[in-house]
């Protein structure tokens, strides 16, 4: 800072010296000692102004620019530079006709137009870079195949962890986009004093690290910060701007995104779709864990979480039991299977809802 002040003071002194010399040529200052005094006073005054004002015209603006550059993403800078270049090119085409305006207007209008259009272009490019990128891809007719597909992940599906297994299996390829606000939410959970939230945050970060090691997909950390209320609102805005689907387990986000015409990939729907089909008369193996609503009835679960109601199975609680399927009932909460122990018969009852 001291060096900058010294340089500014020297520049101010030299400027004041030449300014005083120029003033003496248009004024009648006599004798010579008074002329020297005027020049020295102006030079000293300009040197003092340079010393005092140096931080306000050098360090502070430079600090502001550095902080702005640090906060801005690389994409914002590139888009801003492109927008500024477009604005200057447009100003170049307007400069020739504007120069024919009468008087000083024609002299300064091209310069003012170039500055205004350059600033407007740079600002528009930085603010609307996501929409411009999506528009450019549409104009070029870019069509990504399955290997180049991009998918936005939300916090719930990352914490759930099943997406890592789906990625490992090769069913999902291309690029998984993790917005910075989703990563910030995971970090917030990880640093939470609440043990449950901290465990969820840690699990989410571990799942991300696991997916980054997979060769079948590319994990991209996006620094986009779109407008919107909360992480869900920002995610929907970003998905609409990029034209990419959202992968989530959140029912509310699922509904909001679908209402806005955004494709949603729900892991729960995928799990339901790949459940094995069970038909009456088939045999399955179930671990019986609790009593049912009816006498002698027991309840167990398959590996995919499907509830199995076993008639006459109460005496087998705590053991794995081969069960013959009698019927399959589809409910709002999922699929329920009714059966009886293999080799036995059971009284046919109307299926009743079981507390899950």
- The Cβ of residue 259 has, within 10 Å, a number of other Cβ atoms equal to 9
How far is 252 from 270, CA to CA, in rounded Å? 17
Mean pLDDT, the chain, rounded, equals: 79
314 pLDDT more than 80: yes
Looking at residue 1, its pLDDT comes to: 62
Predicted structure pTM score: 0.50
146 pLDDT more than 50: no
DSSP 177-240: EEEHHHHHHHHHHHT-SSHHHHHHHHHHHHHHHHHHT-SSEEEEEE----S-SHHHHHHHHHHH
Average pLDDT estimate for 264-293: 82
Among 172, 173, 170, which residue's Cα sits nearest to residue 148?
Answer: 173
231 pLDDT more than 50: yes
Please compute Rg for the chain using Cα positions. Answer: 36
Residue-wise pLDDT for 174-208, tens only, equals 888 888 888 888 888 888 888 888 898 898 898 88
Sheet architecture: strand order including 264-266: 217-222, 174-179, 150-153, 246-248, 264-266
Residue-wise pLDDT for 41-57, tens only, equals 888 888 888 888 877 77
Q: Where do the domains of the chain lie, and which CATH numbers do they carry?
A: 1-71 (no CATH), 74-143 (no CATH), 146-273 (3.40.50.1010), 283-341 (2.40.50.110)
Determine contact, residues 126/145, Cβ cutoff 8 Å: no
Percent of the chain exceeding pLDDT 70 equals 84
More confident residue, 27 or 289: 289
3-state SS, one letter per residue, for 20-84: HHHHHHHCCCCCHHHHHHHHHHHHHHHHHHHHHHHHHHHHHHHHHHHHHHHHCCHHHHHHHHHHH
Looking at residue 89, its pLDDT comes to: 92
By CB atoms closer than 10 A (0-12, 13-18, 19+), residue 321 is buried
pLDDT grade for 132, boundaries at 50, 70 and 90: low
Average pLDDT estimate for 20-30: 70
Looking at residue 4, its pLDDT comes to: 74
Among 321, 343, 332, 272, which residue's Cα sits nearest to residue 309?
Answer: 321
336 forms bridges with which residues in the sheet?
Answer: 307, 329
DSSP state of 319: S
């Amino acid at each position: 800072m001291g060096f900058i002040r010294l340089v500014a003071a020297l520049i101010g002194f030299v400027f004041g010296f030449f300014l005083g010399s120029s003033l003496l040529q248009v004024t009648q200052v006599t004798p010579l000692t008074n002329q020297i005094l005027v020049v020295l006073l102006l030079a000293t005054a300009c040197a003092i102004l340079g010393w005092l004002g140096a931080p306000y015209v050098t360090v502070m603006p430079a600090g502001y620019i550095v902080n702005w550059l640090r906060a801005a993403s690389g994409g914002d800078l590139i888009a801003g530079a492109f927008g500024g270049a477009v604005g200057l090119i447009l100003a170049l085409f307007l400069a020739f006709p504007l120069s024919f305006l009468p008087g000083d207007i024609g002299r300064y209008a091209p310069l003012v137009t170039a500055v205004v259009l350059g600033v407007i272009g740079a600002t528009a490019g930085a603010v609307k870079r996501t929409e411009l990128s999506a528009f450019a891809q549409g104009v070029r007719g870019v069509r990504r195949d399955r290997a180049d597909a991009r998918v936005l992940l939300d916090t719930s599906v990352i914490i759930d962890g099943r997406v890592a297994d789906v990625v490992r299996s090769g069913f999902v390829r291309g690029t998984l986009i993790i917005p910075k606000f989703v990563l910030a939410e995971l970090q917030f959970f990880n640093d939470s004093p609440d043990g449950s939230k901290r465990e969820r945050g840690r699990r989410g970060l571990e799942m991300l690290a696991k997916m980054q090691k997979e060769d079948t997909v590319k994990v991209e950390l996006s620094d986009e910060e779109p407008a919107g209320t909360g992480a869900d609102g920002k995610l929907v805005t970003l998905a609409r701007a990029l034209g990419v689907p959202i992968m989530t387990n959140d029912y509310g986000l699922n509904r909001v995104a679908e209402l806005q015409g955004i494709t949603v990939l729900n892991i729960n729907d995928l799990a339901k779709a790949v459940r094995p089909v069970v038909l009456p008369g088939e045999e399955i193996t179930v671990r019986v864990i609790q009593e049912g609503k009816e006498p002698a009835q027991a309840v167990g679960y398959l590996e995919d979480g499907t509830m199995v109601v076993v008639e006459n199975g109460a005496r087998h609680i705590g053991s794995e039991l081969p069960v013959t399927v009698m019927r399959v009932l589809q409910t709002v909460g999922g699929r329920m299977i009714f059966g009886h122990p293999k080799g036995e018969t059971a009284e046919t009852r109307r299926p009743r809802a079981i507390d899950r």
